[in-house]
Amino acid sequence: MAVTSMSSVAFAAYSVTGGGGGASQASTMPAGGTTTVTVANRSAIVSWPAVTLPNGTPVDGYRVFRYDGGGAAQTIGAGCAGLITSLTCTETAGAPGTWRYAIAPVYKSWQGAEGPRTPATIAAPQLALTGSTNITVVPGSVNGSITKFVPGQTVSFRLNNPSTGTFVPGSLNPSPVPASGTADVSVTIPTSVADGSHVLYAVGSGGDVASAHFTVTAPAPTPTGLALVNGGAFAGVEKIGLGDTISVTFSDSLNVASLCSTWSGTGDQTAVGSVVVDNNAASGNDRLRVTTNAPVCGGAFKFGNVNLGTAGFVTANTTFTATIAWGAASKQLTVTIVSDSVDAARVNSTNTALYTPDAAITGTSGRAVTGTASVTGMHF
Ligand SMILES: [Ca+2]
Ligand SMILES: [Ca+2]
C-alpha cells in the first residue's frame, strides 16, 4: 500500500478494485492546491481549492500544515487540526510571527502531496500611547490603545517588568479585549512612581504582553535657600522685629493651596499672619514659625519652622504680626515682620539657622516637599 506522510512525497498511488471483472484501476492522489491565507487580528483564515482524484472522485478532506520561516513544522491550532472536510479553516490566537501554510488532500488512508506554502504574518500585540508620554504632575495618566491582542483577555498594567513589576491602576475599554483585538487604555501613574524613564506593560490574562515607554518628570520641590534679613531696628537696636524678613526659595513651584488652603492658581499670593518665635524650644534654640488665624487661609498656614541656631533671639515666646507673600516667578516665600516686641534681643553671631518645611507642602508636580535649607551668619 502506498504510504504518505507530511514530508515531500509528491504523490501516492492507490488502487481500487472494480466490482465487476476483477480489473484493477490505478490512479494517483492529487497534490494540494495553493492556500490563501487571510489574517484578521491574531487569526489566520486558511482556504484552498478543492481537488479530486483523477477520476473525479472527491477527496475525503484536507490536512493543514503550518511551518515557521526555517521550514520547521508547527503544531496546528485546533481550528485547523485534523481532517478538514470543508475548504477553509481558521487558526485563532496565533503566535506572532511569519508562518507558512500548506494543505494536502486526504482520501481514505492516502494523503497527496502538500501544496505550495503560503506565507502569512501574525502581528505581535502592541501598546501605543497617544498624547504626552512625559508625566509632569503626579498622579498622572497615560492613554493609548492596545492592538493585536487575542480577544477575550482582561488586561492589567505593570511598570518596568511584565511579570514582577508594580501594578498600576488602569482601565481597558472595551474589556475584555473584543474580536478586533483593539481596545483603549488609560493608566494612572501614581505619585509613588519616581522621576525617570519607565516602561508600561499591558499584560493580557491569556499571556499577551505589549509595552510602551514613558517618562516622569515631576520633581519634588526642595528649599534651596534660606535668608533671614535684618530690615529694621527697634528703638535703634538691631534685633528681630519690624522690617525683618524670612525668605525661603524653593527649587520648583509650590502648590500654593498646600501653604494656604484658600490660595489657588499660579500667580503671586499674599496673606496676613504671624511670626511666632518659641523661646528655647525643644532643641534649646529659639524656633521661628509662621501661623495665621486669618479666614483666608482657613486659619492655618503651612510653613514648617526655622531652628534659629541659638537661644538668643527672644527671652519669652513672642508673636509678631507679619505679612506673607509667595512669589510665583521667584518661587520664594517671604514673611515680613511688621511689629516689634520688647522680648526680642539682638543676635550678632555666626550661628546656623535651619529651615525644615512642613511635610504637607507640595509642589505643582504633586510631590511633597523634601529637604531643608540653612544659612549661617548674623540674622535680623
Ligand atoms: Ca531664647
Ligand atoms: Ca531687625
Overall domain count for the chain: 3
Cell numbers placing 82: 485534523
Nearest ligand, CA 241: 2
Asked if 139 and 368 touch (Cβ cutoff 8 Å), the reply is: no
pLDDT for 6 equals 40
d(CA 270, CA 323): 7
Ramachandran angles phi, psi of 285, nearest 5°: -95, 160
Domain match, 285 and 206 both:
no
196 Cα: distance to centroid of ligand 2 (angstroms): 45
- pLDDT band at residue 69, thresholds of 50, 70 and 90? very high
Nearest ligand, CA 314: 1
Residues 6+ apart with CB under 8 A from 281: 287, 307
Nearest ligand, CA 343: 1
Domain match, 229 and 364 both:
yes
- Paired residues of 25 in beta bridges: 16
273 Cα: distance to centroid of ligand 2 (angstroms): 18
**What does the chain come to in residues?**
380
In a domain, 323, yes or no: yes
In a domain, 1, yes or no: no
Nearest ligand, CA 310: 1
243 Cα: distance to centroid of ligand 2 (angstroms): 7
- Paired residues of 120 in beta bridges: 99
Cell numbers placing 49: 481549492
Question: Given 174, 195, 216, which residue is the final one in a domain?
Answer: 216
81 Cα: distance to centroid of ligand 1 (angstroms): 90
pLDDT for 295 equals 82
221 Cα: distance to centroid of ligand 2 (angstroms): 29
263 Cα: distance to centroid of ligand 2 (angstroms): 29
Other CB atoms closer than 10 Å to residue 112's CB: what's the count? 25
User: 295 in helix, strand or coil?
Assistant: helix
pLDDT for 281 equals 93
Ramachandran angles phi, psi of 80, nearest 5°: -120, 10
Question: Given 86, 103, 122, which residue is the final one in a domain?
Answer: 122
pLDDT for 234 equals 67
Cell numbers placing 107: 482520501
- Paired residues of 375 in beta bridges: 353
Nearest ligand, CA 284: 1
373 Cα: distance to centroid of ligand 2 (angstroms): 21
Nearest to 377 by CA among 224, 249, 230, 223: 230
Mean pLDDT on 314-329: 96
Domain match, 287 and 244 both:
yes
What is the 3 state secondary structure string of 224-269?
EEEEEECCCCECCECCCCCCCEEEEEECCCECHHHCCCCCCCCCCE
Asked if 201 and 161 touch (Cβ cutoff 8 Å), the reply is: yes
184 Cα: distance to centroid of ligand 2 (angstroms): 62
Domain match, 160 and 103 both:
no
| Residue in the block written with cell 494540494 | 32
Answer yes or no: is pLDDT of 154 > 80.
yes
In a domain, 3, yes or no: no
Which uninterrupted H or E stretch holds 336? strand 332-337
313 Cα: distance to centroid of ligand 1 (angstroms): 5
User: 62 in helix, strand or coil?
Assistant: strand
Nearest ligand, CA 236: 2
Mean pLDDT on 23-37: 79
Distances (CA, A) of 308 to 84, 193, 281: 88, 35, 10
Domain match, 372 and 243 both:
yes
- Paired residues of 173 in beta bridges: 184
Domain match, 238 and 336 both:
yes
- pLDDT digit string, tens, across residues 82-128: 999 999 999 999 999 999 999 999 999 999 999 999 999 999 999 99
Nearest ligand, CA 240: 2
Domain housing 60? 13-122
Stretch among 3-12, 165-174, 270-279, 334-343 having the lowest mean pLDDT: 3-12
In a domain, 7, yes or no: no
151 Cα: distance to centroid of ligand 2 (angstroms): 73
Answer yes or no: is pLDDT of 19 > 50.
no
Domain match, 347 and 232 both:
yes
369 Cα: distance to centroid of ligand 1 (angstroms): 29
375 Cα: distance to centroid of ligand 1 (angstroms): 19
Nearest ligand, CA 285: 1
Nearest ligand, CA 378: 2
What CATH number is given to the structural domain containing 45? 2.60.40.10
242 Cα: distance to centroid of ligand 1 (angstroms): 18
Ramachandran angles phi, psi of 257, nearest 5°: -65, -20
pLDDT for 352 equals 94
pLDDT for 34 equals 98
In a domain, 2, yes or no: no
Question: Given 196, 216, 236, which residue is the final one in a domain?
Answer: 216
pLDDT for 5 equals 42
Domain match, 40 and 135 both:
no
Nearest ligand, CA 235: 2
Q: What is the DSSP string of 68-137?
A: -TT--EEPPPGGG-S-B-SSEEEE-SPPSEEEEEEEEEEETTEE----PPEEEEEPPPEEEEES--EE-S
Nearest ligand, CA 239: 2
345 Cα: distance to centroid of ligand 2 (angstroms): 9
Distances (CA, A) of 1 to 4, 15, 62, 106, 108: 10, 9, 20, 15, 12
249 Cα: distance to centroid of ligand 2 (angstroms): 20
Residues 6+ apart with CB under 8 A from 284: 311
Answer yes or no: is pLDDT of 16 > 60.
no
What CATH number is given to the structural domain containing 197? 2.60.40.1930
Domain match, 42 and 187 both:
no
In a domain, 164, yes or no: yes
250 Cα: distance to centroid of ligand 1 (angstroms): 28
Domain match, 350 and 290 both:
yes
In a domain, 4, yes or no: no
pLDDT for 20 equals 37
335 Cα: distance to centroid of ligand 1 (angstroms): 21
Domain match, 227 and 372 both:
yes
Average pLDDT, the chain: 91
Domain match, 228 and 362 both:
yes
Answer yes or no: is pLDDT of 235 > 90.
no
Mean pLDDT on 228-249: 85
Asked if 142 and 200 touch (Cβ cutoff 8 Å), the reply is: yes
In a domain, 6, yes or no: no
Q: Are strands 269-278 and 318-327 parallel, antiparallel or unpaired?
A: antiparallel
pLDDT for 155 equals 98
